[in-house]
Structure 1
Amino acid sequence: GPVPDMGPYPINGSRTMFGSEPIEVQAMGFKHSHPDLKMEYDTVSVHMRFPEERVASFVVGFATVLTTYYRIVGTKGEIIVDPSYNFDKAVSYTTRFGEGGDEEKTKNFPKVDQFGGETEYFSDCILKNVEPEPNGEEGLMDVRVVYAIKKSLETGKPVKLEPRNRIRHAQMDQLRSVSFGKPPKQKDVIGRDSEKPAVDATPDTR
């Protein structure tokens, strides 16, 4: 379904923004009549409760037009990131403050190769013998929320999570900005699709 596929993006984003771990999860699943969507739920709505009375909500699904954005709403204004989770588009965010969002500013960032940046960071960790910040524990923190969502869908009830606290969080010194390189020429590509059919070298024994 959509939760294991797309859920980790808003789950991890919410955990990162709040700097804490959810303590309760509730989910609702929906099934549409599209013949190609052969799954129990093709759309899932999730609410996550965090410490200090904070809440994060998201909807993931396969039945609607593709859209990826998130909005952070506080007591003095809001931040809108649209698009947000696409790896092939430039990112920008808009801040709105004041009554009715009168004070609005937008900041744009250049398009970068996200996978290239991740690879460079992990390579640095290997060369310097340093444990990456997004380690196995970080992955488990997302997985336990995905599992709680699954349980909530099965029972139709909220699922409480054991309070957890990660000491390590993402830091600016992890940032790596890698520009997109030029795509390789076909003659330089090595792989199954680039190889010519093998010549049958079996000798003729007739």
Structure 2
Amino acid sequence: MIRYAVVGAGWISQQAFLPGVGQSGNAKVTVIVTGDRRKSAKLAEFYGIGSVVDYSSYDAVVCGQDIDAVYIATPNHLHADYAIRAARAGKHILVEKPIATSEEEALAMIAAAREAGVFLMTAYRLHNEPGTVAVLEAIRSGAIGRPLFFQSIFSFQTVVGNHRLKAESWGGPLQDVGVYCINAARHIFAEEPIEAVAMAHRPGDDPRFQEIEASVGAMLRFPSGGLAQFVASFGAAPVDNYRVIGSSGDLELDPGFKFETATKLRLRRDGEIHETPFPHIDHFGAQVAYFSDCITSGTPPEADGEEGLADLRVLRAVEKGSLTGQPQPITSPPRRCHPSPDLVRMTPPTDRRLIL
């Protein structure tokens, strides 16, 4: 049983990670590190977690013997600090997306984990989800011919007060949900993009978007000629899907990204349409089960620090492109592997959670 410290007890930890750990079958949370001990004490009681500490005690937690790994769910600009400190203390790290706010931070995180001999995994839960992997398997099998175009929208209406609306934490729809579109496109084409063009919109009359953009749209170009187009928004109706058009067919995953619903694949070729619904799994439970398996077996995780860094380079290029109006080059080495069926964990969902 792999023991985790949850670093940051906000919405994603309450809604998804803490319930998911209980579904994993091979992990448990033993410590919550938080800025609100009163609130987190209720979470600890609900989930049977033995310890709640504030951030000033973080080093004592990671240097102690009560945990094997940390799950970092702080605002983006704090990821690197907490990850590096955990690595230096010999603890494995599961860090939320985006991995960091700069390439320099991500490289420092990767180096710290490597030097300490611990695993650093970026929290790409969809790599452990059956529908997402089925899309990649269908493309690899030639089901739609050569993939040519990718189109995606991930949008919802966010609320005032969310830390993702803060510029200081590098918040915004691109970083929060656009990263899903980017990650999907990279693995669908099995390449790294080489150029980005982008534009963004910030309404002047909406108090939510005083510091960040409401919507970002981008086009990525891949070495083989593939084109990926996506829109990420915090100010539109809830939509999350993507479509891949190939030389002899197309497929769509809708829903495609959110963890609250099951994915469904539609494949069209030669005038025929085939729909495949997938079981609704607990994405976070599957992710924790997979990472815990990696720790137990000593097998490096597929979604490692370099995977997070590859998306971060694209995020920064898209951001710069939206600010300058100019195409931005992207340089990343090819990935050695992509999500595959052996990563999938059919972890059942749960309704048992406490939201404060």
Instruction: Kindly indicate whether residue 224 of structure 2 is the aligned counterpart of residue 29 of structure 1.
Output: no
Q: 2:210 aligns with which of 19, 38, 47?
A: 38
Contact conserved, 2:310 with 2:332, CA < 8 A, in 1? Answer: no
Contact conserved, 2:263 with 2:277, CA < 8 A, in 1? Answer: yes
Contact conserved, 1:46 with 1:149, CA < 8 A, in 2? Answer: yes
Q: Number of paired residues?
A: 184
Contact conserved, 1:113 with 1:178, CA < 8 A, in 2? Answer: yes
Contact conserved, 1:34 with 1:63, CA < 8 A, in 2? Answer: no
**Cα RMSD (Å) of the superposition?**
1.7
Quote the Cα distance in structure 1 between the aligned partners of 2:174 and 2:349. Answer: 30
- How do 1:105-144 residues align onto structure 2 when only pairs under 5 Å count? 105-144=274-313
Contact conserved, 1:27 with 1:153, CA < 8 A, in 2? Answer: yes
* Partner SS for 1:69: strand
- How do 1:1-206 residues align onto structure 2 when only pairs under 5 Å count? 1-32=172-203, 33-98=205-270, 102-181=271-350, 183=352
Deviations 1:29-64, CA, capped at 9 Å, x for gaps: 112232332234211110000011101000011221
Q: Name the amino acid aligned to 2:303.
A: P
Quote the Cα distance in structure 2 between the aligned partners of 1:161 and 1:183. Answer: 43
Q: Name the amino acid aligned to 1:125.
A: C
- Gap runs ≥5 in structure 2: 1-171
Name the larger-Rg structure: 1
Contact conserved, 1:45 with 1:58, CA < 8 A, in 2? Answer: yes
In proportion to residue count, which structure has more helix? Answer: 2
Q: Name the amino acid aligned to 1:64.
A: A
Quote the Cα distance in structure 2 between the aligned partners of 1:94 and 1:161. Answer: 31
CA-CA distance at 1:105 after TM superposition: 0.9
Quote the Cα distance in structure 2 between the aligned partners of 1:151 and 1:182. Answer: 41
Q: Name the amino acid aligned to 2:313.
A: R
Quote the Cα distance in structure 1 between the aligned partners of 2:245 and 2:277. Answer: 20
Percent identity between matched residues is 35
Structure 1 partner of 2:137: none
Quote the Cα distance in structure 2 between the aligned partners of 1:6 and 1:36. Answer: 17
* Partner SS for 2:255: coil
CA-CA distance at 1:174 after TM superposition: 1.1
Structure 2 partner of 1:201: none
Contact conserved, 2:199 with 2:216, CA < 8 A, in 1? Answer: yes
CA-CA distance at 1:182 after TM superposition: 5.5
Contact conserved, 1:24 with 1:49, CA < 8 A, in 2? Answer: yes
Structure 1 partner of 2:41: none
- Gap runs ≥5 in structure 1: 194-206
Contact conserved, 2:199 with 2:323, CA < 8 A, in 1? Answer: no
* Partner SS for 2:310: helix
* Partner SS for 2:319: helix
What TM-score does the superposition give when structure 1 sets the normalisation length?
0.84
Quote the Cα distance in structure 2 between the aligned partners of 1:36 and 1:161. Answer: 31
Quote the Cα distance in structure 2 between the aligned partners of 1:36 and 1:135. Answer: 33
CA-CA distance at 1:166 after TM superposition: 1.3
Deviations 1:63-98, CA, capped at 9 Å, x for gaps: 211100100011111101111111011111111123
Contact conserved, 1:112 with 1:177, CA < 8 A, in 2? Answer: yes
Q: Runs (4+) of structure 1 moved beyond 4 Å?
A: none
* Partner SS for 1:152: helix
What TM-score does the superposition give when structure 2 sets the normalisation length?
0.50
Quote the Cα distance in structure 2 between the aligned partners of 1:64 and 1:163. Answer: 32
